[in-house]
A and B are shown apart, each in its own frame.
With several copies, the nearest count.
Chain A
Amino acid sequence: MTTMQRIQHDGTGGSHEADESSPFAPQTPQEVESMLSAIGADSVEELFDVPEAVAFDGEFDIEAKSEFEVVTEIEDLLGRNADRTEFLGRGHYDHYVPSVVDYLSLRSEFLTSYTQYQPETSQGFLQALFEFQSMIVELTGLDVANCSMYDAATALGEAAALAARVRDTSGSRVLVPETIRSERRSVLENYADGAELTVETYPLVDGNTDFDALSDRIGEDVVMVYAESPTARGTIEERLSDVATLADEHEAAFCLGSDPVALALLEEPAAVGADIVIGDASVLGLSASHGMGLGLFAVKEGYLRQVPGRLVGTSETADGRRAYTLTLQTREQHIRKERATSNICTNQAWVALRTAIHVASLGATGLSSLAEECVTRAAETAARLDEIDGVSAPADDRHHFREFVARTERPAAEVASELADRGFLVHEVGEYEIQVCVTETNSGEVDDLVAAVEEVLA
């Protein structure tokens, strides 16, 4: 250990000898000496109690770089991502995030604090999370929202585990729509595995639950029925109340998958009888981020003590002021270990903060408008594609939210690939089906997309 060669500064972007020390460890060589002498050690090496047999004396061969070099390198690397206009959705959406969300959430107080185990010095973040929970409560109409899961898929997994826990009699099956993203289903299956549940699907007709088929498949061994609205195909479900009633009749929990923008407009989950709502809340708060999410998780009051994840509640200070604190921690792994409601510890708190700021920035009015535009834009874009020879849109005879499936006469794989060559990305979701998602961030390029589709289908 060459402590005497520790060099602190290479912010110059230059290539001098920074490779013996971390720029983020502030000790000077003199301080190291004085600290060692206080400890009574001759070297830092001496402090490591690692048996020689397992000590590492090799190199990782990772070259230290200046900040400028790293930033430039990563800019160059990411520059290899093709320049494309994405009309992609299916669970990950690109809504415009106002600048104020960045500026406030990046304040170091929020960004670099930890879980609020000492509430007296964490009131700000706790209040923000409490407000996030409250917004989700308003949007879902349910009584309890936690302050984050990882994403919609893991939230669904946790929902199934919860449904199994809260049920009086044991059960073994979870029913999900056949249109569910296979990735989401796969995550659910991994959660279901430990809970000894199996996952089965029920069919949809024209983007809407095939209620008769669902009625056939349900039974007393079903612990949870899951439905989505909007579905992964962008359709708005029309029989949610019926599904809820059916689930209830079989003592199965009814879990609805949605997102905060859709919830601002569509039927209130509580009103249709949902017991649990899951979804990805980062559709507000994060723009396209390669699938990074924020699991929304809300339940009816009866499930409170079985909720996984963090909950913030109000309390009082010694001097009688309102205060916020993490609460009901006895549900959690750090207290209850293997009997916890979940293993979740690190969560998505900062994304929840961003989502809350985004919701606040929009306000009731702005969020409502945004949601309405999701209906309008999908309908208008579908109508325009439908005018093209060789395209029929939407493929499902339903109302849509943000996105829709279009049937193409040419194979979808070819259509998608040729659109990509022209700079536009759409989903290929069937042999002759593409899926198109429109938000405010790509709506300016719908004209170009339509023209490109015309060319490709011509």
Chain B
Amino acid sequence: TWERETESGEAVNEPLLSEKRTETVTHDDVDLPDELVRDELTLPEPAEPEVASHYTRLSQMTYSVEHGPYPLGSCTMKYNPKFIEDVAALEEGAIHPDRPDEDAQGTLAVLHGLQEYLAEIGGMATATLQPPAGAAGEFTGLLVARAYHRSNGEDDERREVIVPASAHGTNFASAAMCGYDVVELPSDEDGRVPVDALEEAVGDSTAALMLTNPNTLGLFERDIEEIAEIVHDAGGLLYYDGANLNALLGRARPGDMGFDIMHYNVHKTFASPHGGGGPGAGPIGVVEELTDFLPDPHVRETDDGSFEFYEPAESIGKVHGFHGNWLVLLKTYAYISRLGDGGLKDTSAMAVLNANYLAERIDLDIPYGPFHHEFVASAGDVDAAEFAKGMLDEGVHPPTTKWPEIVDEALMTEPTEALSKEQLDVLAAAFTAASEKTKEELAEAPTTTAAARIDQTTAARNPRLSWQDVGGDDE
């Protein structure tokens, strides 16, 4: 690949837009009183060819799923089909959220269709599409739980949300945002929720238990029926974190396991692209008993076969200013429509097969199993973050590192169904190559990436967060 170099042979950074050309404008002719108008504005002023070059160059310094393996555990970095982008670009879908229902029947039909798809896939009564991300789904789900307890007059009492130690950080944060106290549950020795400890933790103050299944070690919580019974008997609700749903499509449904509320990470399970961090969407499914608490509005079919927005009877209100991330939802609908039953089932089959095959091919300790779509290997006496830098030099993206903490120097690895056997072999070879590097070699890695090792500590100690904070070209 091509890289511009200076005459001395050193690679050149792409300059900031602000270092190329800026313009300072004032508003002299606008028909507004001076005191309502800003004095001046300075922004970059590139011509279109320069804009194109700039961002093309930036793209070249960005690894993506189309470059190769991207096995970030719990992130489900799978291939994002192109046709879903075409569907999202359809002009007919580019409408304003305040249209009257009768003028938005197409959009409502898609939303309703997706509500039904998700409900079916999760074994839920219905699903709201409003939360714009997985964490927003958690927040929404807990608001629903809280509304439910409130409607039972138990809100003051049920102030605790129980979260296993191996859960995603968002679970803790979402519970806190809803004003709940978080009770952390350590894993038992086989990596799962300890039923005994759970029984002790649960009680009248329990609002909900949040669970990921398979959990972040890739393990199915085999005692899920018992767990559900314990929580339900105590009057709590069971929340399913959908981050790992890709392991179970068509094999098991949260609703059937006893979960009352779940979120779906459509950008994981249903292949809408991650976009460098978002947008995603975090619809939540609920059992029948909770449907009245769903966000406003929800979509239903009317007697004449048309669709309408309505406000559920005891709605928690809104969690997004409008209707969530429409374009992402549309892509999700397209993806599920394309795969159908067989394709969805095959997705989890191949995701699980890939993870097991990859694990077989690498030479690191994997303390917990049997795992499904992901596993957590240990880098042993090597710092997992260093190990990851060593993998970068093999041309692949490393796994999630140092988490969950139950595994020392964890390498949380999720190949997804989208990698071919050939790519899995490449990825396995990268693990091997990294584990054969010395500490010194790892400390110097990466050397083949767009940038050499980056000092993240200094960045945080002296934060420079805009080009106004950046002096010259070589500060």
Are A and B in contact, CB atoms below 8 Å, in the complex?
yes
Residues from 376 to 419 in B contacting A, C-beta threshold 8 Å: 388-389, 392, 397-398, 400, 403, 417-419
Contact of A108 with B66 at beta-carbon distance under 8 Å, contacts A55-B251, A151-B132, A189-B317 already known: yes
Contact of A154 with B224 at beta-carbon distance under 8 Å, contacts A287-B94, A323-B454 already known: no
Choice from B87, B95, B341 contacting A70 with Cβ under 8 Å = B87
Which residues of A sit under 8 angstroms from B96, Cβ to Cβ? 86, 88, 92, 94, 288, 290-291, 425
Please tell me if the beta carbons of B251 and A25 are within 8 angstroms of each other in the complex. Answer: no
Please tell me if the beta carbons of A49 and B90 are within 8 angstroms of each other in the complex. Answer: no
Please give the distance in Å from B143's CB to the nearest CB on chain A.
Answer: 6
Q: Does A127 contact B (CB under 8 A)?
A: yes
Please tell me if the beta carbons of B465 and A321 are within 8 angstroms of each other in the complex. Answer: no
Contact of A28 with B177 at beta-carbon distance under 8 Å, contacts A120-B453, A268-B38, A291-B323 already known: no
Complex: chain A residue closest to B271, CB-CB:
A24
Please tell me if the beta carbons of B372 and A138 are within 8 angstroms of each other in the complex. Answer: no
Which residues of B sit under 8 angstroms from A120, Cβ to Cβ? 389, 392, 446, 449-454
Which residues of B sit under 8 angstroms from A347, Cβ to Cβ? 133, 277-279
Residues from 101 to 151 in B contacting A, C-beta threshold 8 Å: 102-107, 109-110, 113, 117, 120-121, 123, 132-136, 138-139, 143, 146
Which residues of B sit under 8 angstroms from A113, Cβ to Cβ? 62-65, 274-276
Complex: chain A residue closest to B388, CB-CB:
A118
Please tell me if the beta carbons of A54 and B252 are within 8 angstroms of each other in the complex. Answer: yes
Choice from A65, A88, A99 contacting B82 with Cβ under 8 Å = A99
Please tell me if the beta carbons of B98 and A77 are within 8 angstroms of each other in the complex. Answer: no
Complex: chain A residue closest to B167, CB-CB:
A337
Please tell me if the beta carbons of A65 and B338 are within 8 angstroms of each other in the complex. Answer: yes
Which among A247-255, A259-267, A445-453 touches the partner chain? Answer: A259-267
Q: How far, in whole Å, are A311 and B446 apart by their CA atoms in the complex?
A: 23
Q: Does B31 contact A (CB under 8 A)?
A: yes
Q: Is the interface of A mostly helix, strand, loop or mixed?
A: mixed
Choice from A64, A75, A264, A342 contacting B342 with Cβ under 8 Å = A64
Which residues of B sit under 8 angstroms from A88, Cβ to Cβ? 96, 98-99
Q: Does A359 contact B (CB under 8 A)?
A: yes
Please give the distance in Å from A183's CB to the nearest CB on chain B.
Answer: 5
Q: How far, in whole Å, are A67 and B85 apart by their CA atoms in the complex?
A: 12
Complex: chain B residue closest to A152, CB-CB:
B321
Q: How far, in whole Å, are A32 and B353 apart by their CA atoms in the complex?
A: 8
Q: Does B173 contact A (CB under 8 A)?
A: yes
Q: Does A315 contact B (CB under 8 A)?
A: yes
Flag B267-299 by CB within 8 Å of A: 1 or 0 each: 100010111111110100000000000001000
Choice from B31, B57, B334 contacting A124 with Cβ under 8 Å = B57
Which residues of A sit under 8 angstroms from B18, Cβ to Cβ? 131, 134
Please tell me if the beta carbons of B353 and A313 are within 8 angstroms of each other in the complex. Answer: no
Complex: chain A residue closest to B370, CB-CB:
A49
Q: Does A226 contact B (CB under 8 A)?
A: no
Q: Does A458 contact B (CB under 8 A)?
A: no
Q: Does A422 contact B (CB under 8 A)?
A: no
Residues from 40 to 61 in A contacting B, C-beta threshold 8 Å: 40-41, 44, 47-51, 53-56, 59-61
Max chain A CB contacts within 10 Å: which of B42, B321, B345, B417?
A: B321
Which residues of A sit under 8 angstroms from B87, Cβ to Cβ? 70-71, 74
Q: How far, in whole Å, are A63 and B59 apart by their CA atoms in the complex?
A: 35
Contact of A22 with B417 at beta-carbon distance under 8 Å, contacts A108-B66, A114-B70, A317-B453 already known: yes
Which residues of B sit under 8 angstroms from A118, Cβ to Cβ? 63, 388-389, 392, 397-398
Which residues of B sit under 8 angstroms from A334, Cβ to Cβ? 168-170, 403
Q: How far, in whole Å, are A137 and B52 apart by their CA atoms in the complex?
A: 23
Q: How far, in whole Å, are A70 and B2 apart by their CA atoms in the complex?
A: 35
Please tell me if the beta carbons of B320 and A145 are within 8 angstroms of each other in the complex. Answer: no
Which residues of A sit under 8 angstroms from B179, Cβ to Cβ? 193-196
Q: Does A231 contact B (CB under 8 A)?
A: no
Contact of A291 with B321 at beta-carbon distance under 8 Å, contacts A264-B41, A376-B31 already known: yes
Please tell me if the beta carbons of B17 and A131 are within 8 angstroms of each other in the complex. Answer: yes
Q: Does A351 contact B (CB under 8 A)?
A: yes
Interface residue tally for chain B (C-beta within 8 Å): 210
Please tell me if the beta carbons of B99 and A79 are within 8 angstroms of each other in the complex. Answer: no
Please tell me if the beta carbons of A35 and B277 are within 8 angstroms of each other in the complex. Answer: no
Q: How far, in whole Å, are A23 and B330 apart by their CA atoms in the complex?
A: 19
Please give the distance in Å from B269's CB to the nearest CB on chain A.
Answer: 12
Choice from A288, A316, A319, A368 contacting B41 with Cβ under 8 Å = A368
Q: Does A15 contact B (CB under 8 A)?
A: no
Q: How far, in whole Å, are A127 and B46 apart by their CA atoms in the complex?
A: 16
Please give the distance in Å from A109's CB to the nearest CB on chain B.
Answer: 4
Contact of A375 with B31 at beta-carbon distance under 8 Å, contacts A19-B343, A78-B106, A346-B134 already known: yes
Contact of A420 with B98 at beta-carbon distance under 8 Å, contacts A24-B81, A64-B341, A80-B105 already known: no
Which residues of B sit under 8 angstroms from A115, Cβ to Cβ? 274, 276-277
Which residues of A sit under 8 angstroms from B153, Cβ to Cβ? none
Q: Does A176 contact B (CB under 8 A)?
A: no
Which residues of A sit under 8 angstroms from B273, Cβ to Cβ? 111-112, 350
Q: Does B313 contact A (CB under 8 A)?
A: no
Please tell me if the beta carbons of B60 and A31 are within 8 angstroms of each other in the complex. Answer: no
Q: How far, in whole Å, are A61 and B224 apart by their CA atoms in the complex?
A: 26
Complex: chain A residue closest to B445, CB-CB:
A120
Q: Does B433 contact A (CB under 8 A)?
A: no
Please tell me if the beta carbons of B320 and A151 are within 8 angstroms of each other in the complex. Answer: yes
Q: Does A38 contact B (CB under 8 A)?
A: yes
Please tell me if the beta carbons of B421 and A108 are within 8 angstroms of each other in the complex. Answer: no
Please give the distance in Å from B456's CB to the nearest CB on chain A.
Answer: 5
Q: Does A144 contact B (CB under 8 A)?
A: yes
Q: Does A292 contact B (CB under 8 A)?
A: yes
Max chain B CB contacts within 10 Å: which of A36, A66, A350, A372?
A: A350
Please tell me if the beta carbons of A310 and B62 are within 8 angstroms of each other in the complex. Answer: no
Q: How far, in whole Å, are A339 and B181 apart by their CA atoms in the complex?
A: 11
Please tell me if the beta carbons of A60 and B30 are within 8 angstroms of each other in the complex. Answer: no
Please give the distance in Å from B29's CB to the nearest CB on chain A.
Answer: 7
Please tell me if the beta carbons of A108 and B32 are within 8 angstroms of each other in the complex. Answer: no
Flag A137-173 by CB within 8 Å of B: 1 or 0 each: 1110001110110111110000001000000000000
Q: Does A388 contact B (CB under 8 A)?
A: no
Please give the distance in Å from A373's CB to the nearest CB on chain B.
Answer: 9
Choice from A63, A139, A145, A286 contacting B465 with Cβ under 8 Å = A145
Please tell me if the beta carbons of A61 and B341 are within 8 angstroms of each other in the complex. Answer: yes
Please give the distance in Å from B453's CB to the nearest CB on chain A.
Answer: 4
Choice from B46, B123, B169 contacting A360 with Cβ under 8 Å = B46
Please tell me if the beta carbons of A290 and B49 are within 8 angstroms of each other in the complex. Answer: no
Which residues of A sit under 8 angstroms from B232, Cβ to Cβ? none
Residues from 95 to 132 in A contacting B, C-beta threshold 8 Å: 98-100, 102-125, 127-131
Q: How far, in whole Å, are A60 and B253 apart by their CA atoms in the complex?
A: 11
Choice from A154, A335, A357 contacting B169 with Cβ under 8 Å = A335
Max chain A CB contacts within 10 Å: which of B30, B253, B470?
A: B30
Please give the distance in Å from B36's CB to the nearest CB on chain A.
Answer: 6
A-B contact pairs, 12 of them (CB 8 A): A22-B346, A22-B417, A62-B337, A62-B340, A88-B99, A114-B274, A145-B466, A190-B317, A236-B36, A321-B451, A344-B135, A344-B136
Q: Which 7 residue pairs of A and B lie closest in terms of their CB atoms, listed nearest first?
A: A291-B322, A350-B275, A64-B340, A153-B321, A291-B97, A124-B58, A349-B277
